[in-house]
Amino acid sequence: MAEDLEYHATFPPNVSTEDTEGGGEYPARSGRNEPLVILLGWVGCVDKHLAKYSAIYQSKGHATIRYTAPPEQHFYKAERLQETSVKILELIFDLGLEESPIFFHVFSNGGCALYRHITETVHGPFAAEFAALNIAGCVYDSCPTQPTVRSGIRALSAMDPKAGFFTKLARIIAFVILNLLSVFIPSTWEARKARKGYIKALKEDRARFPQLYFYSKADKLCPWKMIEDVIAARGELGVDVRQICWEDSEHCAHLLKHEDEYVKVCHDFVDNCLQNILDSVDTDSQSGSQSYSD
């Protein structure tokens, strides 16, 4: 169940004026199908930083859910990401938001790896269980690129700036040793296979809703050419792909460097996706009326 997720949910003023944290009581729903934006943080993300991004959508009256998977689920227990993805989908129903247009905003490979399992769950063998969900779009910030031991070390080094040198060194050594030994540990083979198929899975994602990519040529963790390779593959499948590439902003620091443009593009993306939904409903309605008159 979703109760053990350490999430933060925020609702529009006409529904609730307070944040709901994991483990708390769920607020009564008003029946209004306001858009829901689910933000999935980067490895080691602190919620106060993720809250700056959810504020972009809260300012437009959208409901938001913020969640960051524990670092060990990426580095040591990757098989747990699948379980977490199901809990997040269950949480949407628990909060009574299953009829809302749903958007994902994912950060770095940490958030994107979790999203990968979410979209595979929605379009996989248990798709019928989540068929009621209306996922309308996804925003990618500084991702995706193929995870490597080198990128993992860099992520561990950047995670938790307040951690001491020896603490970081111990994490890195444990991570490297585990990767070396994983070849001989059967229980890690499934997670290892999932990591190797990460980019392929995102390129071939069965979802066809619009996608927006924020990335930069100055990003040292996620090479921009790898991101553009994914963008090209999605475009070839007919997905409506939009992209913003900067020259100077660092990894997951695009909002800090280009705040006005970043916020505007996010707002425009959601508005355009919602308009597409309305246009689709109108088209279906007119088609039904024409068939009835015939």
Spell out the domain ranges in the chain. 2-146+203-281
Higher pLDDT, 245 or 15: 245
Looking at residue 194, its pLDDT comes to 60
| pLDDT for 262 beyond 60 | yes
- If you average pLDDT over residues 268-283, what whole number do you get? 85
pLDDT single digits (tens) 133-160: 999 999 999 999 987 556 555 665 666 6
Higher pLDDT, 188 or 279: 279
Looking at residue 31, its pLDDT comes to 42
Percent of the chain with pLDDT over 90: 57
| Type of residue found at 176 | V
pLDDT single digits (tens) 196-212: 789 999 999 999 999 99
Higher pLDDT, 168 or 197: 197
Cα distances from 36 to residues 105, 106, 133, 173, in angstroms, run 11, 14, 11, 40
Cα distances from 140 to residues 31, 116, 177, 202, 248, in angstroms, run 29, 12, 31, 11, 18
What is the third-level CATH fold of 2-146+203-281?
Answer: Rossmann fold (3.40.50)
Please tell me the least confidently modeled range out of 85-94, 106-115, 165-174, 179-188: 179-188
Looking at residue 25, its pLDDT comes to 44
- If you average pLDDT over residues 251-264, what whole number do you get? 97
Higher pLDDT, 43 or 15: 43
Looking at residue 215, its pLDDT comes to 98
| pLDDT for 42 beyond 50 | yes
pLDDT single digits (tens) 221-235: 899 999 999 999 999
Higher pLDDT, 24 or 174: 174
